[in-house]
Amino acid sequence: MERYGRAAARWARLLAPGRQAAGIRVSYGHDRIPEPGESAAGGTAKLQKLAERFPNTPVDFTLLYLGNTFLPRDLRPLIWVARRRGIPIVVNQNGVGYPGWAGGRTDEVNRPLRRALLAADHVIYQSAFSKSSSDIFLGDAPGTWEILHNAVDTRLFTPADHSPQGGPILLLGGDQTQEYRLSLALEALARVLQAHPEAHLLVGGRFVSDPGPTLDRHGIRERVTFLGRYTQREAPEIYRRAHLLLHTKVNDPCPTVVLEAMACGLPVVYPASGGTVELVAEEGGIGVPHPDTFERDEPPAPEALADAVDRVLADLARYSASARSRVVERFSLEPWLERHREIFEEFAPR
């Protein structure tokens, strides 16, 4: 009830007549953005970073910034208010619904994404893959657009002073919101253990399937640790506990977890599809080929992932240094924030 009360009060102020002063005051479409240190994931984490530099102004805003993975429930009326007041809309476009994961809900998933995109004065696509998949499933952006990959604070996400003892230790980070992502990692671990009997897998976030049968079938319960969800402040220490990131999601548009891991010196083994290829390239890890289609999600075989893990481990020092260097040079947070400042100054009323 408290949430509805806040929403009612906000809308009473939004609809009140009055003249707006100029300047950059950004609304992210929500009454509140998580504070630094609070739990945030995906699109929420990006808005959290922006809100530190450009605080959330849910009522008296001069620019509406919408992250398509964290769209507000009242999206339609918010767009109406922005249009009524002549307030520009900037959309940060990540992924889309496609049949491989959304199935019969594809149109339902894409409906609000399309509404936001078609209302935008400017669209920030998180990767070239985000742009191409959005064009297919949502349509062309009516205004201006650019590709701006996600970014990471490379002063906060840094390598460990000393490499973790034992192992090798693999990390499956973020949330495992599709069943195959966890099961594939466990199957790959079972193969890795054949060459590296002391290997261990850390599993982060929430998951949607019971890992018990796979753990028991391979007898690997003692080789897996489930960490649960963690905050951005806790994340660097999580990464520093591992040697390598095993990222199992196919067609991932622009996974920040990959950038965070690389910034901490973790090479990445991943399905070679989506925007992950743009982030990792050849120097940051190994992408494993697999059938790449929007009609179904068909990840690589666990044996192929395990082979890639073995190849990275055989040249770990080089891959680790290259992963860190690539993120520092191309995906640091400050240039990303500065580009947002330029966009906001270009579009916000003066």
pLDDT digits (tens, 9 = 90+) for 58-79: 999 999 999 998 899 999 999 9
Q: What is the pLDDT of residue 231?
A: 82
Residue 16, class by beta-carbon neighbours within 10 Å (0-12 exposed, 13-18 middle, 19+ buried)? exposed
Q: What is the pLDDT of residue 175?
A: 83
pLDDT band at 262 (very low <50, low <70, confident <90, very high): very high
Q: What is the mean pLDDT of the chain?
A: 91
How many Å apart are CA 216 and CA 183, to the nearest integer?
A: 12
Model confidence at 11: pLDDT above 80: no
How many Å apart are CA 31 and CA 83, to the nearest integer?
A: 19
- Return the structure tokens found at 12: 């009473």
Nearest one of 317, 334, 337 to 266, comparing CA atoms = 317
How many Å apart are CA 64 and CA 311, to the nearest integer?
A: 46
Secondary-structure percent of the chain, ordered helix, strand, coil, rounded to 5: 45, 15, 40
Model confidence at 2: pLDDT above 60: no
How many Å apart are CA 280 and CA 320, to the nearest integer?
A: 12
**Torsions phi, psi for 126 (to 5 deg):** -75, -15
pLDDT digits (tens, 9 = 90+) for 114-164: 999 999 999 999 999 999 999 999 999 999 999 999 999 999 999 999 888
Q: Which contiguous run of DSSP H or E holds residue 214?
A: helix 212-218
- For residue 121, give the 3-state DSSP assignment: coil
Model confidence at 4: pLDDT above 70: no
Model confidence at 110: pLDDT above 90: yes
pLDDT digits (tens, 9 = 90+) for 167-212: 899 999 888 888 899 999 999 999 999 999 999 999 998 888 888 9
pLDDT band at 39 (very low <50, low <70, confident <90, very high): low
Model confidence at 16: pLDDT above 70: no
Q: What is the pLDDT of residue 166?
A: 86
Please count the other Cβ atoms lying within 10 Å of the Cβ belonging to residue 252: 24
How many Å apart are CA 61 and CA 30, to the nearest integer?
A: 12
More confident residue, 37 or 91: 91
Model confidence at 92: pLDDT above 80: yes
